[in-house]
Structure 1
Amino acid sequence: MTMHNHAEVGEISERIVLVGDPNRAKYIAEHYLEDAVLVNDVRCAYCYTGMFEGVRVSVMAVGMGGPSMLIYATELCRDYGCKILVRAGTSGGYRDDMKNFDIVLSQAVSTTSGINDNMFNGHFSPVADFGLLSTARSIADEEHLVTYVGGTVCNDRLYRDENYKSKMWKKYGMLCSEQEGCAFYTAAAEFGCRALMMVGITTGIRYDENGQEIFVDLPEREHAQSMDDLVRLALKTAAHAE
């Protein structure tokens, strides 16, 4: 039990999927986990533990933004013994060829966040666990899901003005912008845990004539992907990673 999580040690699986929205955690538990049990509801950070394809898995809501993610990921790794953590979230895509709910597997995270400032005598580069990344890509290929693998950028600000040099991230190959990846991978690294962030692209990031970011709706693919595709990929990765 911690300040933010009233589950007892042992009630949360070593394999866990993290989402932002508590209603999404509830949905996953109800639709994908067998014999799901609610083990935490403090601050609506719902955490359920059940069985998925014969493997004990938990799913937990951790809110939005780096500080919230850092709190929960730290406690899950440090206090609850979680070893495999998969984040299933949403993101804004930079690439012009992306369609609605294409999936990005984040290989490494660049960031504008300050959560690691003054922690190192240099700049720490948070990265995914290669084994989890390989497992997720293999499963995605078997499921015929459209995925991208590469760098992502983590921002504290969602709404940014023309002074933010967003086009530089796109120029240097970043696939998408989100808000939790740096904290997620940092906490996992600190405690020697394995982590992978995967995000569904729900909006496109484009620019007006003044260089101001604008969000645009994305077209569907012929075989449309959805949040359920992302959820299944996250659960399968967490459950079946060696």
Structure 2
Amino acid sequence: MTPHIGAKPGDIAETVLMPGDPRRAKWAAETFLKDAVCVNEVRGMLGFTGTWKGNRVTIHGSGMGMPSLSIYATELIREYGAKTLIRIGSAGAMLDHVKIRDVVIAMTSSAISTPSRGFFKEMQFAPCADYGLLEKAVAAARGRGTPIHVGGIYSSDIFYDERQDLTDMLARHGVLAVEMEAAELYTVAARHGARALAVLTISDHLVTHEALPAEDREKSFGDMVEIALEAAFA
């Protein structure tokens, strides 16, 4: 047990999918895993372990933002032996050609600051995905016919951002989407020798101001979960 995870030794699989919302973790576990069992509910952050096509998988919430993700990812790797961590979550599109319901697979993630900034001090570390996972996720998405975009994203510390100048500059440099966790996930995984990837569903659009209707979210997020699982075990 850790201060934030109440799972017993052996309860956590080597492959962990990490949605931000603990209720989405519950939904994904009940929808995609066989014999899923709740292994953590400390502070309301739910985690479930079951199997997918015979492979053990844990789906564990990360909370919102990089500080929360950093705590859970570090403890899952250091204390429970997780070796592959895949963020599954929503993102806001920053470019016209990225559409609602599309899936973004993040090669890199830029950030103004992360919890790991203190480790690097003056160094600007470049957080990036594990290439093997990324390659398999792209293949899985193409095999399903899911519209995907592969490239850089932006991990923001602020949900209600008022920096239109920054948004415009990031779009000018081809940044596909914004979310709040991937940059720290990639950094923590690199620090501890684990593999990491972020597979994201576009739920909102910063340019067109569209938003995915609530009734359509489940199917769209389901595509993302299956891509992540296929990437982990292909």
The TM-score by the shorter chain falls in which range? over 0.9
Match of 1:173 in 2: 174
Where do residues 200-239 of structure 1 align in structure 2 (5 Å cutoff)?
Answer: 200-206=201-207, 215-217=209-211, 226-238=220-232
Query: Equivalents in 1 of 2:178, 2:91: separation in Å?
Result: 6
Secondary structure of 1:216's counterpart equals: coil
What is the TM-score with the length of structure 2 in the denominator? 0.93
Aligned 1:20-39 pairs, distance under 5 A: 20-39=20-39
Letter in 2 for 1:94: M
Q: How many angstroms does 1:163 deviate by?
A: 6.0
Alignment of 1:29-108 (within 5 A): 29-108=29-108
Q: Any unmatched runs of 5+ in structure 2?
A: 214-218
Tell me the equivalent position of 1:154.
155
CA distance in 2 between partners of 1:146 and 1:4 (Å): 36
Shift of 1:98: 2.2
1:218 deviation in Å? 6.5
d(CA) in 2 for partners of 1:114 and 1:237? 26
Cα offset for 1:158? 1.2
Q: Secondary structure at the match of 1:64?
A: coil
SS in 1 for 2:88: strand
Counterpart-to-counterpart distance in 1, 2:174 and 2:2: 39
Task: State the partner residue of 1:141.
Answer: 142
1:8 has 2:12 as partner: no
Label 1:107 to 1:4 Cα distance change in 2 as closer, same or farther (>3 A): same
SS state of the match for residue 118, structure 2? coil
Q: Which has the higher helix share?
A: 2
Runs (4 or more) in structure 1 with deviation over 3 Å come to 214-219
| Cα separation, 2, equivalents of 1:77 and 1:164 | 37
For residues 114 and 33 of structure 2, what CA distance do their matches in structure 1 show?
A: 36
- The CA deviation string for residues 118-162 of structure 1, in whole angstroms up to 9 with x for no partner, is 322411111000000001001111111111000001110111224
Aligned partner of residue 206 in structure 2, secondary structure: strand
Aligned pair count reads 229
- The CA distance in 2 between the partners of 1:159 and 1:215, in whole Å, is 14
Structure 2 residue aligned with 1:209: none
Match of 1:210 in 2: none
Partner Cα distance (1:24, 1:174) in 2: 26
Unaligned runs of 5+ in 1: 207-213, 220-224
C-alpha distance in structure 2 between counterparts of 1:218 and 1:21, whole Å:
17
1:22 CA displacement: 1.3
Query: How much identity, in percent, do the aligned residues show?
Result: 40
Structure label with greater radius of gyration = 1
Distance in structure 1 (CA, Å) of the matches to 2:109 and 2:194: 16
- Post-superposition offset of 1:94: 1.1
Does structure 1 retain, via aligned residues, the 8 Å contact 2:100–2:210? no
Aligned alpha-carbon RMSD (Å): 1.8
